[in-house]
Amino acid sequence: MDTKKYPILIILLFICIIGINILSIRHKSLTYDEKRHYKYGYQILKLNSDRFEDSKMPFSAFNAIPRVIAEELKPILSKKVTDFLYDIKTGRYITIAFSILLAFYVFKWAKQLYGRSAGILALTLYAFSPNIIAHSRLITTDLYATCMITIALYYFWEFIRKANIRTAFISALTLGISQLAKYTCAYLYLIFTLIILCRLFTKIFFKKKHEDIPYNYFKKLTKNVRYILIFIITNIIIINAGFLFNRSFTPLAGYKFKSELFKKIQKNAGILKHIPLMLPYPFIEGLDWVKYNERSGVSYSNIYLFEKIKTKKRNQEFHGFKNYYLYAFLFKVPLPIQILFVFSICTRLIRYKRYDFINNEIFLLIPILFFFIYFNFFFNAQLGIRFLLVIFPLLHIFCAGIIKTYNDSIPPIVKTILTALILWLITSTISYFPHYISYFNELVWDRKKAYKILADSNIDWGQNVWYLEEYKKKHPEAKIEPAYPTTGTIVVSVNSLVGIFNPVKYKWLRDNFEPIDHIAYSYLIYKITKQDLLKLYKKYYKNKNY
């Protein structure tokens, strides 16, 4: 790559990230969860970490910072500035800032692993990843978790490479901070352990030696307890500080658990349940609530996939669809990225000698495989692709590694294929501007039919109210979500249509008619004539005249 063009490309890609995020957020109304995340974040800044919901985390405090600034500096700020800072939507710019931070680490890690051309490719994939864009502009914890998991994995990779006090502390610090972003990050402890075990078993069975990372590092860790202590002490301090040391050292006996898992732990703990825990009360309480709500379905609506709906039953564990997130991945992730991922795996298998799997690839592949398997087979809250968001930056880095296959001397045919895939990705992503929550790849050619595959936060998360209001101004005759079958122009949200909230209400509409148009992909438009309604009545009441 031309040295002069290299920094220009980086700058342009970061400008794209900032521009797409800011411009696409302009008319987006608050999603269903944003107010509650913002409320908890503001509550944290007011030094209160008591929990009112299961998944709200201290990281949301970043989104509430503008409001606190406005409160503190109100006497010296103009009304225009104060109003801007008080606006809850201003908090979204903080999430965008974290998206930019994540972009930097995607570029940095890919460059260190595979070279600067790979860094550019990874950054390009990230910049035009519609699902990343969709959640980079929201006051939720999905992007925060994605950011912190990537950063924590990067610094753990650095620690394993260098194994000194400085890298150990940085890795422990980022791991601890990640626990304040989202409970998904708690699985990093297991993922780190799996990486260590994988490297240990490789040493035992293959007995290979590497110059960069000595294989006796595990012995050093077990002999030198200081690394382990750094991780334990740092994480305990950070988690306690993040939750404001709220009732820290409460023993298990002092909790009122909801989930069966935590009740069993408490019941079988014996004398240990009276020993003070070195973690804050709302942190453990939240883990329990998350597990309970995920298993029971109490905190979310019905689950939908391929025109089928699953409803919750009282006092029974809720079970969703098999392979829900596999299908979400298949239809919601851009096809160029899927193709590039498969291509990257194939080239690595063919030219495996050019890669150092045990020292590099496993830091990407183990988390990708872990989260993909966990969400597909062990997770009941099937609410949208956003739960898989945590693997996307790792996918982008892994895909960029294809550059190393050719040692930067890419054959013309491969260069043409890569260029075509990138142009396809950019075109596909831009074509959905600014409606990135509703993005589906080209497997869904008729976009107004996307509701036949997925719903909920995959399409409609309450983000397009402004567009509905604009439509109503231009079409005052339209009937918005009528209570009963009727004629004329009918507008129904995707979630209402498929039965996320009420499976029966619009069964007459979804089973007998097709939408003629959509409003920002979230609302479907139907034209129902008197003849259509007459046929419908005759279908359901064959023996009666109307």
DSSP 66-114: HHHHHHHHGGGS-HHHHHHHHSGGGGHHHHHHHHHHHHHHHHHHHHHHH
Are 110 and 123 within 8 A, CB to CB?
yes
Q: If pLDDT is split at 50, 70 and 90, which confidence band does 546 have?
A: very low
pLDDT at residue 407, rounded to an integer: 63
**pLDDT value at position 314?**
63
Residue-wise pLDDT for 486-522, tens only, equals 999 999 999 999 999 899 999 999 999 999 999 999 9
Is residue 452's pLDDT more than 50? yes
How far is 483 from 486, CA to CA, in rounded Å?
9
Cβ-based neighbour number of residue 244 at 10 Å: 16
Which range has the top average pLDDT, 138-152, 294-308, 399-413? Answer: 138-152
Let me know: does 102 contact 16? Beta carbons within 8 Å.
no
* pLDDT in the model for residue 536: 87
Higher-confidence residue: 357 or 145? 145
- Whole-number pLDDT of residue 90: 97
What is the predicted pLDDT for the residue at 212? 46
- Decide if pLDDT at 545 tops 50: no
DSSP 203-230: HHHH----SSS-TTHHHHHHH-HHHHHH
pLDDT surpasses 80 at 541: no
Q: Which pLDDT belongs to residue 211?
A: 45
* Number of residues written out for the chain: 546
Could you give the 3-state DSSP secondary structure of residue 23?
A: helix
Percent of all residues in the chain with a pLDDT value above 90, rounded to a whole number: 78
Classify strands 308-310 and 303-305 as parallel, antiparallel or unpaired.
antiparallel
- Which region among 148-152, 247-251, 404-408 has the lowest average model confidence (pLDDT)? 404-408
